[in-house]
Amino acid sequence: MFKDFEDQEPVPPDVQGATRPVKNPVAAVLGGQPGPVGPQFRPAPAETHATRSAPRAQAQRSTAASERFRRTHFPEATRADWADWHWQLANRVTRPERLAEILNLSEDEQAALSWAKGALPFAVTPHYLSRIDPDDATHPLRKCMVPSTMEHMLGAGESEDPLHEEHDSPVPGLVHRYPDRVLFLATRFCAAYCRYCTRSRMVGGAAVPFERPRWEAALEYIERTPQVRDVLVSGGDPLTLEDGPLDWLLTRLRRIPHVEMIRLGTKVPMVLPQRVTPALTRMLKRHHPLFISVHCTHPLELGPESRQAFVRLADAGIPLGSQTVLLKGVNDDPATLKELFHQLLTVRVRPYYLYQCDPIQGSAHFRTTVERGIEIMSALRGHTSGYAVPTYVIDAPGGGGKIPIYPETMLGHDETGWRLRNYENREFRYPEVREDASCEPAAAAADAGKGVLQ
Ligand code: SF4
């Protein structure tokens, strides 16, 4: 039993996830074809081969593709610079002229970048840019980060704050919608700005190292609200904070007796994996039970650096769950999402939520129909491990909270129970328990050839 596992070479614990013989996500997503053309983008054969043969050393290095990208576009930067998250932040690409030196911008991208004043800022880390095809404006990671003129169109039902977070905010920077949990908006800064961001109205500010007065007001609210047992620290991206301020915030939250669990919401392992240092994970593990929800969109985000970041977080004992926004032209097909969810499980991230894209201003080009989301979930459920199937939810506009969507399985019900449909389209019945039901011993019921409930 388990012989296959016993026969394997022992693997250093801090890189176990990074050493799995994974499929190349580029080839998988493109139907087994080589990646798009362009010397900087071609997936490096060494990326999987080398991680298998020399896991510890290789996991600490960049990929061959990112090395080529660094030498081409940041020739003055050393490998050590590239691996330093402060260097990555200091060298974010924020200006259209600089972006045009790296990507062959389409006319639409050029127009959108020139109009961008006042909207969500444009910023992307060198790391994330190195994973984008310079010649393909339809590349999925590029669509997530490079503005489109469609952002300036207002669709029906779209608004700046569709989830009414401001309405549910008792103090600035804190959202209290559900009875026992709050959202603590620790910063307005992100390493890179996703074009479909639900909080585009508020993110994009300068990196403020320590917003102590604002944090104090939110902490005082939590202290005087004993029903709050779960605090989600998000933003902006809380992992863009330095270790010291983040440690201070988590320590203060931990001191509140009724706060049982803390969650961090972040995209850092995808856009700035260099931030997940051993020092950070040592600090985070002092604040257990601490959970992390990672925002990931596409399997192409999961390069060796991101995989190593997840392994470090998982090895620190942090339960990891993923949140993915369903995005038209980016990930709205079952094969891409299945590959993403399978890849996440190999680095111990449990797919948790698949979100219908929120109707923020200028999001129509990103939003799929709900029917499409239901079709995708039907193509996943039952066709792969349950662990690889997240819950598909709509965060209800107007502040209704997350509503799970399962219409394809619930066919209806009457006084005796529910009619359900499984992944093979076969129908089953689940008997409803009745308040007034009386029971008899199972054996007696079986003898009588009938069910137990009367
Ligand atoms: S990382 Fe999150 S908060 Fe930041 S821009 Fe992306 S979706 Fe918005």
DSSP per-residue letters across 276-290? --HHHHHHHGGG-SE
The answer to whether 367 is a known catalytic residue is no
Is the distance from CB of 11 to CB of 304 less than 8 angstroms? no
Quote the ligand 1 centre to 161 CA distance (angstroms).
Answer: 14
Is the distance from CB of 114 to CB of 149 less than 8 angstroms? no
**Domains in the chain and their CATH numbers?**
3-151 (no CATH), 174-404 (3.20.20.70), 422-447 (no CATH)
Kindly give the pairing relationship between strand 181-185 and strand 230-234. Answer: parallel
Which residues contact ligand 1 via a Cβ below 6 A? 190, 193-194, 197, 199, 203, 235-237, 267, 295
pLDDT tens digit at each of 454 positions of the chain? 323 322 222 223 333 333 333 333 323 322 222 232 222 333 333 333 333 333 334 344 457 888 999 999 999 999 999 999 999 999 999 999 999 999 999 999 999 998 856 568 899 999 999 999 999 999 999 999 999 999 888 877 888 878 787 788 999 999 998 899 999 999 999 999 999 998 888 787 777 667 788 899 999 999 999 999 999 999 889 999 999 999 999 999 999 999 999 999 999 999 999 999 999 999 999 999 999 999 999 999 999 999 999 999 999 999 999 999 999 999 999 999 999 999 999 999 999 999 999 888 888 899 999 889 999 999 999 999 999 999 999 888 887 888 888 877 778 888 777 788 887 788 888 876 666 655 566 555 445 444 333 3
Which one is catalytic: 197, 332, 357, 367? Answer: 197
Q: Which residue has the tokens 């944090």?
A: 215
Q: CA distances (Å), 152 to each of 96, 126, 326, 355, in order?
A: 17, 26, 20, 22
Long-range contacts of 384-390 (CB under 8 A, 24+ apart): 384/338, 384/341, 384/342, 385/345, 387/345, 387/350, 387/351, 388/338, 388/341, 388/342, 388/345, 388/351, 389/341, 389/351, 390/322, 390/324, 390/341, 390/351, 390/352, 390/353, 390/354
The answer to whether 296 is a known catalytic residue is no
Q: pTM of the entire structure?
A: 0.81
Structure tokens at 417: 């129970």
Quote the ligand 1 centre to 195 CA distance (angstroms).
Answer: 8
Which one is catalytic: 92, 195, 199, 312? Answer: 199
Sign of torsion, CA 286 169 237 142?
positive
For atom 1 of ligand 1, which residue has the closest CA? 267
Is the distance from CB of 297 to CB of 327 less than 8 angstroms? yes
Give dist(CA 139, CA 128) in Å, integer: 13
The answer to whether 144 is a known catalytic residue is no
Quote the ligand 1 centre to 196 CA distance (angstroms).
Answer: 8
